[in-house]
Amino acid sequence: MDLLSADEVARQLHLNVKRVQALARDGRLPGRRVGRRWLFDRGDLDRALGTPPSPDLAGIDLSARNQLRGRILGLIVEGVMAEVTVAIGDQQLVSVITRGSAERLGLRVGDAVLAVIKSTEVMIGKESSR
């Protein structure tokens, strides 16, 4: 059993620790109170959030805050490029990377991966009410 503190969960989810504690208190995050501390089982947390088990990323710190865990649904490699379709919860994210990167990482359908989004621009869309 891999237990995480509220601080560790807050860092992983990019939330304030008080928000994590409130979500646990409301039953929206699977945690248990031990004395004055909240503890979270990593497996229970992954299942509740609909994410695959975390790949071993020990020792990797990135400046990008938008890090989404998912599983490869599709991989198309043609020429010098590779199109990678990643399932994140009930959503899909498509990334186009170089063939060399896909081969170096040994990407295969079903692999657990981390999609890192770093951008200076974010667009928001909404369906038209017309």
Q: Are residues 77 and 33 in the same domain?
A: no
Query: 38: buried, middle or exposed (CB in 10 Å: 19+, 13-18, 0-12)?
Result: buried
Q: Are residues 83 and 20 in the same domain?
A: no
Q: Are residues 44 and 60 in the same domain?
A: no
pLDDT digits (tens, 9 = 90+) for 47-103: 777 765 555 544 456 666 677 888 899 999 999 999 999 998 888 988 898 999 899
User: pLDDT category, 126, cuts 50, 70, 90?
Assistant: low
Q: Are residues 38 and 90 in the same domain?
A: no
Q: Are residues 26 and 81 in the same domain?
A: no
Helices (H) and strands (E) in the chain, counts: 4, 7
Range of the domain at 28: 3-49
Split into its structural domains, the chain has a count of 2
pLDDT digits (tens, 9 = 90+) for 18-63: 999 999 999 888 999 988 899 998 888 877 777 655 555 444 566 6
Q: Are residues 72 and 124 in the same domain?
A: yes
Write the CATH number for 90. Answer: 2.40.50.100
Strand ranges, E, within 1-130? 3-5, 32-34, 37-41, 66-78, 81-88, 91-98, 112-117
Q: Are residues 59 and 119 in the same domain?
A: yes
pTM of the model as a whole: 0.51
Contact 3, 40 (CB under 8 A): yes
Q: Are residues 15 and 63 in the same domain?
A: no
Average pLDDT over residues 2-9: 88
Token reading at 73? 């649904």
Q: Are residues 33 and 62 in the same domain?
A: no
Q: Are residues 45 and 63 in the same domain?
A: no
